[in-house]
Amino acid sequence: MKEFTNEEVLQVFRDCGGLLEGHFLLTSGRHSDKYMQCAKLFIRPKKAEALCAALADKLKDMKIDVVASPAIGGIIMGYVMAKRLNAKNVFAERENGKMVLRRGFEILPKDRVLVVEDVVTTGGSAMEVVELVKECGAKVAGVASVVDRSNGKVDFGVPYRALLSMEVVSYEAAECPICKKGIPLVKPGSRNIAK
C-alpha cells in the first residue's frame, strides 16, 4: 500500500474541500482559523479508503481485535480501519454527557482495542473512548487518527499514530484574536453561525 507524505495528505484534503479557513468552533470549545473537515474526505470513498488503509498498514503489528471510535466523526473511519485490520468495529456515543456503548456493542476483557478518531486536537473524545475501553477491562493497544492537529503533543498513554501531523493554532474563546476581529464563528459540520 502507498505511503503518504504530509503534503500528499494535505493535497487530498484540498482536493476534497476539506481544508477550511475562517473562524471555527472546535469540539473542544476552542477556536481556530483552520479546520480539517474529515466529513469532506469521507464523501470520496476511494480517497478516504486509501488514506485509512495506509494508516491501518502502519498498525498491523498491533494485532487488533476491535476498532472503537467516538460518534460521529470516527464512525466511517473506524469501519474502514476495522475492515483493513480484519477486526470488529464498534462506536461509542455520548449519553448524559458520557461515552457509552449502545446498540448491543460490546468490548470484552480479552480484546485488544484500537481507538480511532478522524481528527485529534486536544484528544478529548478519543480519550473518553480510551477510558471506556479500560472500563470494559480490555487492553487499549493504541490510538490512531487521520489528522493530528496537536503535532504530537497529545499523550494518550498508549502508542499514537496519525497519518498527518500538524500544528494548527487554536485559542480559548475568551482569548481568541479572530473573535476580536468580528469574524463570524462557524461550527464545522454545519453552515450555521455558532451560538
Q: Are 152 and 179 in contact (CB under 8 A)?
A: no
Domain count, the chain: 1
Whether residue 12 is contained in a domain is answered as yes
Within a domain: 107: yes
Show pLDDT as tens, one digit a residue, over the chain (195 residues): 678 888 899 899 889 988 888 999 987 788 999 888 888 888 899 999 999 999 999 898 999 999 999 988 889 999 999 999 999 999 999 989 889 899 989 999 999 999 999 888 778 889 999 999 999 999 999 999 998 988 788 899 999 999 988 877 889 999 999 999 999 999 875 444 455
The pTM score is: 0.83
In a domain, 61, yes or no: yes
Give me 24's grid cell: 471555527
Supply the range of the domain harboring residue 170. 6-180
Tell which residue, 97, 107, 159, 119, has the closest CA to residue 26: 119
In a domain, 194, yes or no: no
Q: What is the CATH number of the domain that holds 164?
A: 3.40.50.2020
Question: Is there a contact between 32 and 175 (Cβ–Cβ < 8 Å)?
Answer: no
Inter-CA distances, 94 with 97, 122, 156, Å:
6, 17, 20
Q: What local confidence, expressed as pLDDT, does residue 1 receive?
A: 62
pLDDT at res. 67: 97
As a three-state string, the secondary structure of 11-26 is HHHHHHCCEEEEEEEC
